[in-house]
Amino acid sequence: MALENEQLILVDKLNKVELSGFARLNEYLVKNGEGEQILRIEERSKGLSTRLLSSVRRSFEMVVFQGNREYIRLQKPFRLTNHKLDIHDDYGLLGSIEKSFIENRYIVRDKDQEPCFELSSSIVWARSFNIENMSREEVGVIEKKWPDNIKRLVKSDNFFGMKIDRELSVENKKILLGAIILIDFIHFN
C-alpha cells in the first residue's frame, strides 16, 4: 500500500516558467518518511488563460499515480469562495475537503459527506495545519516547508510534510493527501 506510512512528504515540482511568475500545470511527487517516491501527482486541467485569470477560484483535475496506475483523482470545481476538493478512487467518491469562508479552517468529509476531520491554522500565518478528528483529538499535522527565495532559485522545489496517526484508514489518508493539495493551491500557488 502506498499510504501505509505515518509520514508523507509532498514535493511541489517547480520549474523555470513558474519562477518567472507564469502559471503552469501543477506536478508533485509524494515520498514516504524514508524519502522513497511512492506516488506522482499530475494536473490535467486545460486552458492557460483560465489558470492566469481565475487564480485559486479556477477548477482543476489532478490524477495521483502509483507507478503507472491511477490511484486517486482530485477534482476542484470553480468557486468564488468556500473552495472544495472531491477525492475519487475506482469505486467512486472517497470524500471531500471544504475551506471555510474567512478562517484558515477546512472540514474533511467522508464518502457519506459526514465530517471526519477538521484542519485549522492561524489566520495570519498559514504554514502549519493541525488535523483533529471530530472528538477534537489531534491525529496529525500538515506543515509547509520552503526554502528562502535565494535557495528557491537554485533548488526549485517546495515541500509539505504530513505526520498522521498510523492507525488512520488508507481511505482517510487518501482524503488527507487531497487536503495538502487544496491547501497548497489556495495558500501557496
- What DSSP letter does each residue of 125-145 carry, written as one string? --SEEEEEETTS-EEEEEEEE
Q: Looking at residue 21, what is its pLDDT?
A: 47
- The answer, yes or no, to whether residue 95 has pLDDT greater than 70, is yes
Average pLDDT over residues 162-173: 90
- DSSP type of residue 63: E
Residue 134 in any domain: the answer is no
- The answer, yes or no, to whether residue 147 has pLDDT greater than 60, is no
Residue 31 in any domain: the answer is yes
Q: Looking at residue 70, what is its pLDDT?
A: 94
Q: What is the mean pLDDT of the chain?
A: 82
- The answer, yes or no, to whether residue 16 has pLDDT greater than 50, is no
The 3-state DSSP class for residue 73 equals strand
139 and 164 Cβ atoms separated by less than 8 Å: yes
> Considering only 110-114, 138-142, 144-148, which range has the smallest mean pLDDT?
144-148
| 188 or 153: which leads in pLDDT | 188
Burial class (CB in 10 A: 0-12, 13-18, 19+), 99: buried
* H or E stretch at 41: strand 37-43
Give the range of the structural domain holding residue 165, as residue numbers without chain letter. 7-90+144-188
Residue 159 in any domain: the answer is yes
Residue 100 in any domain: the answer is no
Residue 25 in any domain: the answer is yes
Q: Looking at residue 20, what is its pLDDT?
A: 43
121 and 144 Cβ atoms separated by less than 8 Å: no
Q: How far apart are CA 154 and CA 164, in angstroms?
A: 31
> Considering only 3-12, 74-83, 86-95, which range has the smallest mean pLDDT?
3-12
Residue 67 in any domain: the answer is yes
- The count of structural domains within the chain is 1
Residue 133 in any domain: the answer is no
List pLDDT tens digits, range 30-48: 998 888 999 999 988 766 5
| 54 or 62: which leads in pLDDT | 62
Q: Which residues of 18-50 are buried (b: 16+ CB within 10 A; e: fewer)?
A: beeeebbbbebebbbeeeeebbbbebeeeeeeb
Q: Looking at residue 172, what is its pLDDT?
A: 93
Q: How far apart are CA 6 and CA 163, in angstroms?
A: 6
Residue 113 in any domain: the answer is no
Q: Looking at residue 69, what is its pLDDT?
A: 94
Q: How far is CA 141 from the centre of its chain?
A: 13
- The answer, yes or no, to whether residue 163 has pLDDT greater than 80, is yes
